[in-house]
Structure 1
Amino acid sequence: MLDLLKAVVLGIIQGLTEFLPISSSAHLRIFPELFGWGDPGAAFTAVIQIGTELAVLIYFRKDIWRIGSTWLRSLVRPEYRGHLDSRMGWFIIIGSLPIVVLGVIFKDTIEDDFRNLWIIGTTLIVLGLILGIADRVSSDDRKIKDLTLRHAIFMGAAQACALIPGVSRSGATISMGRFLGYEREAATRYAFLLAIPAVIGAGLFELREIPHGENAYGWGPTIVATAVSFLVGYAAIAWLLRYVTTHSYTPFVIYRIALGGATLILLSTGVLTP
């Protein structure tokens, strides 16, 4: 019963933080440690993210169907190859390659060394500052239709930095998008779409690891956490897309710095262990 309660709490944390540029993986590492639950593990973290990505698939179902169907037509019909949706399909595929390749190469390091709380606290602060600077200096004159292959690769490379917990997949991609001059809604929307192959792929890849590990919860709690993260995540997507049309990312920057600073203080005082 306790594991199911933990699963619900972690599912809520995942759903609330996956799409906000504050790093869901950092929260799933920090808060269980604060609660005395220990590290739920990289596999559990990766698998329950499937729930939030299912929320993306449903929320953006029309966009995804349009992009996917146009991309497939373009493979055999040249007249579709210059279409924005066809190009977007290639942008998502090519932009996903950096995180896939690096994720496979550095799998052991990501699952062990990078989950150190000293690293997570530091990356929360550093990437928070980067997000704040990017949001402030952006020319804010490019829309999603202005996306190019070169920019898609840059944002894909930025997304790969999120293999380090604390970076934030959406935060890294949005930061690069803002540096490249994309408006907030465009950068955020592309960040959501770009994450789909990487997150679902990582979750499926880690499924076999669920029954193992020091703090493994097993299939029942993992399924519960995934379902909860889906429900909460769906609401978070709608809220964030509305929010960024009229607001800056400053509150998220402040939150990242505060959480990162608090984590480092708690580590230095022995309240948390790395």
Structure 2
Amino acid sequence: MELIHILALAILQGLTEFLPISSSAHLILLPVLAGWNDQGIAFDVAVHLGTLTAVITYFRIELTKITRDWLHSLTSGQMIGESRLAWAILLGTVPVGLIGITLTETTQESLRSPLVIAWSTVGFGLLLAYADSVGKRQRDEYTLSWHDVLFIGFAQVLALIPGTSRSGITITAGLLLGLTREGAARFSFLLAIPVILLAGALATLDLLDRTEPVDWEALALGTFISGLCAYTCIHYFLKFLQRMGMLPFVVYRLLLGGLLFYLFL
């Protein structure tokens, strides 16, 4: 990969991972629209690991407390402090983990299509608009029941379709359950941690088994740049979310979907 390709894709990933506009769709579309070779799943996972580092760093204080309380709950056999939130994050990851592992590489590649992205971008964008308009926005992430967590977890499975947006569909599910915008976004961000860890571990094992050379320098640079951009994005997204709502992202998704239909239909 050329340096400009690495920088452009890493910055794009960092800026879109935690916004409800689908980072995976943008990673697929940029090479198509720019006439570049597809960077492949390995680079996509590398820049996702960068965003993983960003979210862990940003929520480091909360994660320290959640992890400590979760470990105490294991030894005591009862919920302690924020251990319930830790269990919710793990439970919410089960559906996408099970289904993601069973998908074949052929199935994953067949979904990396501009028209698939166009349909999912528009469809789930409209669903996000609906959830933001009808949601009561009266609860935070600590009030989620186990049924609520499973609802969000199964919604996250839809993010395996490029263009859906993992953060977008989980925020949508949270809003439909009555969470505030901030509560839905925070739980979505925390839910990203085990998902990206699982995907990164599987991809790394696959890379280590390959005989062809791997451009580890490109992967490392992409990881670093995407992490920096993602950290900045998380900060400002949470800061301005209540003021701007979801409408700007819905409009963007509709415009992007319309452009893709125009170009590829």
- The two structures have a TM-score, normalised by structure 2, of 0.94
Q: Deviations over 1:154-197 (max 9, x none)?
A: 11111111111100010000000000000000000000001100
Asked if the contact 1:71–1:87 (Cα under 8 Å) also holds between the matched residues in 2, the reply is yes
Q: Kindly state the Cα deviation for residue 146 of structure 1 after the two structures are TM-superposed.
A: 1.0
Given residue 148 of structure 2, which amino acid in structure 1 is its aligned partner?
A: H
| 1: CA distance, partners of 2:230 / 2:107 | 24
Does the 8 Å CA contact 2:14/2:47 hold for their aligned counterparts?
A: no
- Unaligned regions of 5+ residues in structure 1, if any? 269-274
Counterpart of 2:8 in structure 1 is 9
Q: Point out the more displaced range, 149-158 or 101-110.
A: 101-110
The percentage of counterpart residues that share the same residue type is 39
CA RMSD across the alignment: 1.8
CA contact (8 A) 1:47 1:204 kept: no
Cα separation, 1, equivalents of 2:206 and 2:36: 19
Q: Which amino acid aligns with 1:134?
A: A
Structure-2 separation of matches of 1:205 and 1:180: 32
In the alignment, structure 1 residue 107 sits paired with structure 2 residue 80: no
- Does residue 1:50 correspond to 2:49, yes or no? yes
Letter matched to residue 156 of structure 2: Q
Q: Deviations over 1:85-140 (max 9, x none)?
A: 11111101111011111111113244311111110111000010000000000011
The answer to whether the aligner puts 1:62 opposite 2:46 as a matched pair is no
- Could you list the runs of 5+ residues in structure 2 that have no partner in the other structure? none
| 1:241 matches 2:238 | yes
Q: Indicate whether 1:203 and 2:200 are aligned.
A: yes
Equivalent residue of 1:202, what SS? helix
Shift of 1:212: 10
Matched, 1:259 2:251: no
TM-superposed deviation, 1:217: 7.3
What secondary structure sits across from 2:2 in the alignment?
helix
Cα distance in 1 for partners of 2:18, 2:259 equals 22
Is contact 2:46–2:222 with CA below 8 Å preserved after alignment? no
- Whether the 8 Å CA contact 1:210–1:218 is kept in 2: the answer is no
The match for 2:26 is: 27
**2:167, 2:188 within 8 Å by CA — same for their partners in 1?**
yes
> Which of 228, 232, 241 is 1:231 aligned to?
228
Question: What number of residue pairs does the alignment pair up?
Answer: 263
Whole-angstrom distance in 2 between the partners of 1:156 and 1:136:
22
Distance (Å, rounded) in 1 between the aligned partners of 2:129 and 2:58: 27
Q: 1:39 to 1:212 in 2, by over 3 A?
A: farther
Using the alignment, how far apart are the partners of 2:144 and 2:181 within structure 1?
Answer: 13
